[in-house]
Structure 1
Amino acid sequence: MDLKEQVVLVTGASRGLGAAIAKAFGETGAKVVVNYFMNKEKAEEVVEQIGNERALAIQADVRNLEEVNALFVKARNYFKKPITTIVNNALIDFTFNGELRNKLDSIKWNEFQTQFEGSVKAAFHTLQAGRADMVNQNFGRIINIGTNLVQNPVVPYHDYNTGKAALLGFTRSMAKELGPNGITVNMVSGGLLNKTDASAETPDAVFKLIKEETPLQKATTPEDVADVVLFFASPLSRAVTGQNLVVDGGLVMN
C-alpha cells in the first residue's frame, strides 16, 4: 500500500520526534492521527501544519486500552477507513539528562514500571486495537521507536533502556505472529536527537561529544529518524520485518 493511501497513527505526536514523524507522513499525502496525552494545543498545531482534511488530533493515554480502542473508532469514523499503520513513539515521564537520572543505588522499581508501561504496554494496546482491521486488509505496518542506548548504554538511563529493550523483544515476537497476515513489525532506534523537548536538558557538551565520535560528524535530528520510519511504512520495506534499524549517524554499528 502506498504511503498516500495509508491512515497512520503516531502516538505522542504533539511534539519532538512524534511531531516530525506525523508531519513527514502528512507530506506524503497520508492521513494522520496525531495522538497526544496532555498537550492539545501543540497537537492541533501539528494538525494545522498537515491540513485539517488529512489529520486529526485525538487525546488518549496509550497505557489505557479503553482510550486506545476509542481512538481507533474515532479515526475510522473521521477518515472513513481504518488505521493501517501504527508508530509507537509516545514517551512517558522522561527527560534525557544523565546527570539527573537515578543509578542502581537510588532507582526505584516503579521507575522501571513507568517505562515498561510507556513502551511495551502502550504498543501492546495499539496492536491489539488495530490487529483485526489489518488482518481484514491483509496489510499493516507497525513501527516501534527504540534507542541506540540498548546497544550502547553509555548513560545511566536504566529504566528507559530496559523498557526499550523489552519493546525490541515484543517487536520480534509480533513480527513472527503477524507476518502471515501481511503485517510487518519493525523498530527504528535513534540516537540522542538534536533537539527536542525531551533532550532540552541534555548539556551541549554531550552533543559536541557525539558529533566528534560519530562517523557523519553530526547529531541525529528528528527528521532523520522520521525518514526511516517512512521507509518501514512504504512498499520499499515490504520484505523486511522483525528488524531494528539504528539511526544515529554510525555511532553504534550492528
Structure 2
Amino acid sequence: MPLSSCSPVSFPLDQQIVLITGGARGVGERLTRAFLGQGARVVVNYLESREAANALATASQGKALAMQADVTDSRAVAALVAEAQAYFGAPITTVINNALPRFSFDGDARPQADSLGWESLQQQFEGVVRGALNTTQAVLPGMREQGFGRIVNIGTNLFQNPVVPYHDYTAAKAALLSLTRTLSQDLGPDNITVNMISGGLLRTTDASSATPEEVFELIAANTPLRRVTTPEEFADAALFFASHWARAVTGQNLVVDGGLVKN
C-alpha cells in the first residue's frame, strides 16, 4: 500500500477535547488551566478531589467537565470517556496522563533500599503505567475515527538524575517512558503521537510541599536558569505537544527543569 502524501488531520488547541487525569490539583490543576486558557474543552478527571474539580468546571463556563474515575479501573475509564464524548459531542483528541498515586517527595520518609517493599513498587506501577494504558486504550477508537490523537505522559528527571532515590516512583516513571516509546511506534500510522514531559522538583505542588526549603535552594543553584521550574512553566510543554507545532514529534521525552538535566 503506498504511503499517503496528504497532510495529516490537525486540531487547533481551541478545537480540542482534552482529558487530564488527576486534573483537579497540583500540576494537574495547572495543566487544566493552561488548556482552558487556550480555548480547549477539558475533562477534569479526579479520584478524591471532587470539590476542586467542580470548582474548575464551574469557573470554566461550560468548557470543563469534572469526572470522577479511578484510572487503574479500565471499566471506569471507559465509562468516563464515553460520557465525556456524549457531553461534548465529539471524541477526545488529547490525553494528559498526569494522575499520581499517593506519594510525597519527602526524602527522609522514603523507603530505603533495605526496606523497600514490592507493594510500594506495585502501587506506583498500577497508578502510573496501568493508568496510562487504560486511558490510552479507552480513547483509541475515537482518535482513530477522527484521524488525530495526542497522548502526553508525565514523567520525571529522576530516572536520569536520581539525586534522591525514590525507588518506587522512579521505576514506574521509567517504565512509562518505555511505554511512551513503544506506543509511539505502534500508533504513529494512525496520526497519534505519544510523548513524555519530565519535570524535576516543581515549586510548589501538593507532592513537593514536604520538600525542605534548602532542597529548593540547592536545585536552583545548580540549574542554568538559577531557579526552580514552576508548574505553570511545566504545563506550557504540554500545550506544545498537543499543538500543531509538534505534529512531527513523537516518542520523545522532553525534560522541563530549567536545564538541570541534559537529555
TM-score between both structures, scaled by the size of structure 1: 0.98
The partner residue of 1:114 within 114, 120, 123 is 123
Match of 2:56 in 1: 46
CA distance in 1, matches of 2:250, 2:25: 27
Percent identity among equivalent residues?
55
**Aligned-partner SS, 1:143:** strand
Structural mapping, 1:161-180, within 5 Å: 161-180=170-189
Equivalent position amino acid for 2:22 in 1: G
Match of 1:188 in 2: 197
The partner residue of 2:157 within 136, 142, 148 is 148
Query: What CA deviation, in whole Å up to 9, does each residue of 1:129-162 have, x standing for no partner?
Result: 0001111111000000000101101102000000
Equivalent position amino acid for 2:250 in 1: T
Count of equivalent residues: 253
Match of 2:261 in 1: 252
Structural mapping, 1:1-254, within 5 Å: 1-49=11-59, 51-254=60-263
C-alpha deviation, 1:74, in angstroms = 1.1
C-alpha deviation, 1:52, in angstroms = 3.2
**Aligned-partner SS, 1:100:** coil
Query: What CA deviation, in whole Å up to 9, does each residue of 1:143-194 have, x standing for no partner?
Result: 0000010110110200000000000000000000000000000000011010
Equivalent position amino acid for 2:15 in 1: E
Query: What CA deviation, in whole Å up to 9, does each residue of 1:32-63 have, x standing for no partner?
Result: 000000110011122233x1311000000000
CA distance in 2, matches of 1:61, 1:11: 9
TM-score between both structures, scaled by the size of structure 2: 0.95
Query: What CA deviation, in whole Å up to 9, does each residue of 1:88-118 have, x standing for no partner?
Result: 0000010111111011100100100011111
Structure 2: where are the runs of 5+ without partners? 1-10
CA distance in 2, matches of 1:45, 1:210: 33
CA distance in 1, matches of 2:225, 2:55: 32
CA distance in 2, matches of 1:93, 1:24: 24
CA distance in 1, matches of 2:249, 2:131: 23
Runs of 4+ in 1 over 3 A off after TM superposition: none
Equivalent position amino acid for 1:14 in 2: A
Equivalent position amino acid for 1:18 in 2: G
CA distance in 2, matches of 1:115, 1:60: 17
**Aligned-partner SS, 1:198:** coil
Structure 1: where are the runs of 5+ without partners? none
Equivalent position amino acid for 2:208 in 1: S
